[in-house]
Structure 1
Amino acid sequence: MEVSALRNVIESHIRKEGLNLYSFAERCGLNRGTLSAVINRNPPRNISVRELDSITRGMGLPEGELYDLYIAECLIRVAPHWRRIRPFMLRCAETNKLDCLAKVLEILVDNLSYIGDIFNTAEELFKLGHKQASVLLYQCVIDSEKYNNSEFLAISHYRMLQIDFGKNMETNLRAALRFESYLSRLPVEHRLEALIILVKIYFSTHNWERIAILADELLKQSQAVYEEWERSKRASVPSRVEPIRLQRSLIFYYGQGYLCKATALQKMGRYDEAKKAIDCYADLSWLGPINDEDKQEIQKYKSWATANSYTQDILMGRQESLEAYVDFLRNHPEEILSGLVTIVQSANKYHFSIDWIINEFAESISGFDQFTDVVNMERRLRFAIQYSIYCVRRGKMKEGMESCLKALELSSKTNSETYFGDLIKEFMHVQKPV
């Protein structure tokens, strides 16, 4: 490719359209002197990506059409300068010209002095919502820093986890396994958020032992932040160290730690230990709410503690708690899905009827399709499987088959066929009671 290919294209367009420099500059919305310096000066003036976009529009071409020529002439022919590179990378992301973005990174990758700038631009793109573009930059940082224990490397792996995290259980698990060795290197504000994601992933795979470990780490990190804040309050001289700024309230992280610990212990059948963890998040007022939002957060965990205390009773077969639990669900509709999973599971285990409860919440059950996040998709799958078992045991073959087909559909959507397979074996061996 000729070094003047970009300017040749511009000049050819001007001649073809029968324009002069003044009329073309006006069409592009550029100063005539600026355009003249870009085309005619010897050596030509470096063109900015903003000017290139204006020229592209003036030529009636799609956005980014001339980016390949720009790379060849302004980033390869001359030494690349970050003042030109960064705006160009941002525009590549905005126009979805990811192939051009990849070419720029190929030019920069051998020069380690650019790694900090590449990382900062990746963070900027991530926060602007250009996730796929940011992946290219984070991967560049990962490849360049893989033999270093840098914070850039840890945060880049964390961002990749965030981007990969979705509804597909196998993809989520692979992302978690790739990331976990970098968890301890993250700044605490990112580490807390990463722990929340990991807990969600392992929840969907039913790895309760791993969740218990992660919950302990979440509580440990939350306690460390709390103690640091308390030290800062008591200090007579203000610290020069930048204070820890969390993405969410400390109440949230403490609450999630105890909630996840209680859930994991409950799933492992360690009910007495689970009860102690439930009691811990039932009252988080000791953290000292400073505004109405904090008070609402504390109340939310108190409400969840009430719900999960009922859950424990139901899972232990205490049918006398059913009416109180159903009344709780009536007043807390956001808990209906998880509550019905517990109720139908217990009904199958202890062989009691819950027809009246299913009828009570029939309308809510028909609306479960609205829940599409990874945790609730897993709950919907468990409900569908357990309800199919419940129906077949009670001779309701049509309803049982419909629920089984719903479970098959959900297992396909979440890529959790193995989980479905394990449960369908139980379904196939269910015998209608005599």
Structure 2
Amino acid sequence: MKDHDLILSDLAREAEMNPGTMSSIINGNRTLSVDQLDRITKAMGHPVGYYYERYVSEYLTEANPNWRRMSPFIHNCAKLNKLDCIHDVVNLLMDKLGYSESLFELAEELFKEGLYEAATILYENVALSEKKQYSERLAMCQYRLFQTRQGDDQEKNYEAAVQFEIYVDRLDEIEQLDALKDLANTYRLLRKWDKVELFAKALGDKAKIQYNMEQQRHPSKKENAKKPSFPLFAYWAFSHLLRTQVCGERKDYERAFHHIKKYADLSWVLDTDEETLKWKNKYEDWAVVNTYVNKLLSGEESVLPEYVAYISSRKDEVLPALDKIFEAANRYQFDVDDILGQFKEDISSYLEQQEIEGFYTQRFITERFIHFSKELSVYFLTKGRFSNGFKFLLSCLEKSTLINNKSYIIKCMRLYEFFQEYASLETKKAYRKLINEVM
């Protein structure tokens, strides 16, 4: 006020506050809320949050914890990514009994808003404070922590999945469906097929129970029942879709066809709403695709023309299909140069942009690109097309390094060592540079 020659009413007007309120705050007769702090900060020409660290140390630590003041402050800190302030405030609250439930509810709000780093701080503290080890709240915290810890580092994804496993059965029955789906998907990306099978089977069993219960429930009670993220039958079908892939990876194609038949015919699902019909069509389509895939991987080259024709008009399925086609070509020495030519532009686009729209998540796409790059490099190198072969090999090694996928790093190194006598000087330099990054 002195610096800008303002009287109290001037400052109050700039801050859009009542002069009486401003007077009480300045004279220390009124508690300062975060909204009032933000208004005064803006009136002083500073960005919102400028005084947050001092607000914690000079005001909140000296006052009795008040959730009505703490809650909006944590929310604001989350939006401004002032995580240290959140840590400090949560530590103040956790020293007092009774704030665990409030912090959990706020964490859920932040999670839904996509403010994951801030939500993680709250979930971690609530989990530490939870005395009942079998409580649903503790399990839910662990589920959210598992979700927020999923990223590009494969090792960290694995650690998060292992840590969460023991809490799945403690969740609400409906929440368990999404949790099992997410766990199975994580292990699918990590290519831990025993784990995928374990959680896929549990998902199918629980989804079937929930579906049967839903069918027997009185219509009046259906409205109040907790709703899953997807139709219940879709979880059951997804469990068989996952097990189809597990069997394919184990080269047990007879068993794979058994699971395909399970989700190929969903005529027993009688609901006719838009969401149900959408998922029924998806699974029927995936059943057709996976029938082609498993026939191809078992050595039936004759299905190639039909398979290529089927996926040509389905943009989302082109990359996964090409991946399987080149895997089969390498396994059985098929010549697929004509397919390579047909999808040449698509392949270049995929490898450069690494983006695709539709059903698949970005992490799943990244894993698919790595596998596809490796299969392409094998195809070209074994045919003596070394320039292209090494290009895709280096691409695979680079992407594997970025996400810390040790399995594929080793595969790339072995492949390079086998063909290194054919590598150009430029390729050798690029390879050494990448290996230095790996080290």
Task: Tell me the TM-score normalized by structure 1.
Answer: 0.90
- Name the CA distance, whole Å, in 2 between partners of 1:87 and 1:381: 44
What residue number does 2:427 align with? Answer: none
What residue number does 2:23 align with? Answer: 36
TM alignment of 1:307-346, pairs within 5 A:
307-346=289-328
What residue number does 2:56 align with? Answer: 71
What residue number does 1:151 align with? Answer: 136
What residue number does 2:373 align with? Answer: 384
Task: State the shift of 1:315 in Å.
Answer: 0.5
1:115/1:141 contact within 8 Å kept: yes
What residue number does 1:398 align with? Answer: 387
TM alignment of 1:16-415, pairs within 5 A:
16-40=3-27, 44-145=29-130, 148-233=133-218, 242-368=224-350, 369-371=354-356, 373-415=362-404
1:42-82, CA deviations, whole angstroms, 9 ceiling, x for partnerless residues? xx111221111111111112211222333345433231221
User: Does the residue aligned with 2:47 lie in a helix, a strand or coil?
Assistant: coil
Task: State the shift of 1:168 in Å.
Answer: 2.2
Task: State the shift of 1:230 in Å.
Answer: 1.6
- CA-atom RMSD, angstroms? 2.1
- Name the CA distance, whole Å, in 2 between partners of 1:327 and 1:105: 58
- Name the CA distance, whole Å, in 2 between partners of 1:389 and 1:245: 46
- Name the CA distance, whole Å, in 1 between partners of 2:225 and 2:192: 35
- Name the CA distance, whole Å, in 1 between partners of 2:4 and 2:233: 66
- Name the CA distance, whole Å, in 2 between partners of 1:374 and 1:100: 31
Q: Does the C-alpha gap of structure 1 residues 355 and 427 become closer, same or farther in structure 2, counting only changes over 3 Å?
A: farther
Task: State the shift of 1:408 in Å.
Answer: 1.1
Counterpart of 2:11 in structure 1: which amino acid?
Answer: F
Task: State the shift of 1:267 in Å.
Answer: 0.9
User: Does the residue aligned with 1:285 lie in a helix, a strand or coil?
Assistant: coil
Identity value in percent: 33
- Name the CA distance, whole Å, in 2 between partners of 1:305 and 1:399: 34
1:115-139, CA deviations, whole angstroms, 9 ceiling, x for partnerless residues? 0001011111111221111111111
User: Does the residue aligned with 1:65 lie in a helix, a strand or coil?
Assistant: coil
1:385/1:424 contact within 8 Å kept: no
Counterpart of 1:18 in structure 2: which amino acid?
Answer: D
2:211/2:233 contact within 8 Å kept: no
Task: State the shift of 1:431 in Å.
Answer: 11
2:251/2:298 contact within 8 Å kept: no
State yes or no: 1:420 paired with 2:409. yes
2:205/2:236 contact within 8 Å kept: no
- Name the CA distance, whole Å, in 2 between partners of 1:362 and 1:409: 21
Counterpart of 1:33 in structure 2: which amino acid?
Answer: G
Task: State the shift of 1:94 in Å.
Answer: 1.9
Number of residue pairs matched?
A: 414
1:263/1:274 contact within 8 Å kept: yes
- Name the CA distance, whole Å, in 1 between partners of 2:295 and 2:318: 16
- Name the CA distance, whole Å, in 1 between partners of 2:297 and 2:275: 33
- Name the CA distance, whole Å, in 1 between partners of 2:244 and 2:286: 11
* Unaligned 5+ runs, structure 2: 422-439
User: Does the residue aligned with 2:134 lie in a helix, a strand or coil?
Assistant: coil
Q: Does the C-alpha gap of structure 1 residues 68 and 168 become closer, same or farther in structure 2, counting only changes over 3 Å?
A: closer
- Name the CA distance, whole Å, in 2 between partners of 1:140 and 1:59: 35
Q: Does the C-alpha gap of structure 1 residues 208 and 283 become closer, same or farther in structure 2, counting only changes over 3 Å?
A: same
Higher alpha-carbon deviation: 183-192 or 214-223: 183-192
Q: Does the C-alpha gap of structure 1 residues 424 and 70 become closer, same or farther in structure 2, counting only changes over 3 Å?
A: closer
What residue number does 1:9 align with? Answer: none
1:330-380, CA deviations, whole angstroms, 9 ceiling, x for partnerless residues? 132311111112111111111121111111111111122224712121121
- Name the CA distance, whole Å, in 2 between partners of 1:52 and 1:420: 52
- Name the CA distance, whole Å, in 1 between partners of 2:58 and 2:314: 63
1:175-198, CA deviations, whole angstroms, 9 ceiling, x for partnerless residues? 111111111111233222222222
Counterpart of 1:115 in structure 2: which amino acid?
Answer: S
Higher alpha-carbon deviation: 162-171 or 272-281: 162-171
User: Does the residue aligned with 2:5 lie in a helix, a strand or coil?
Assistant: coil
1:74/1:80 contact within 8 Å kept: no
Counterpart of 2:278 in structure 1: which amino acid?
Answer: Q
- Name the CA distance, whole Å, in 2 between partners of 1:400 and 1:225: 50
User: Does the residue aligned with 2:204 lie in a helix, a strand or coil?
Assistant: helix
Counterpart of 1:289 in structure 2: which amino acid?
Answer: D
Task: State the shift of 1:413 in Å.
Answer: 2.2
- Name the CA distance, whole Å, in 2 between partners of 1:222 and 1:71: 47
- Name the CA distance, whole Å, in 2 between partners of 1:118 and 1:340: 48
1:199-225, CA deviations, whole angstroms, 9 ceiling, x for partnerless residues? 222112211111111111111121122
Q: Does the C-alpha gap of structure 1 residues 392 and 207 become closer, same or farther in structure 2, counting only changes over 3 Å?
A: same
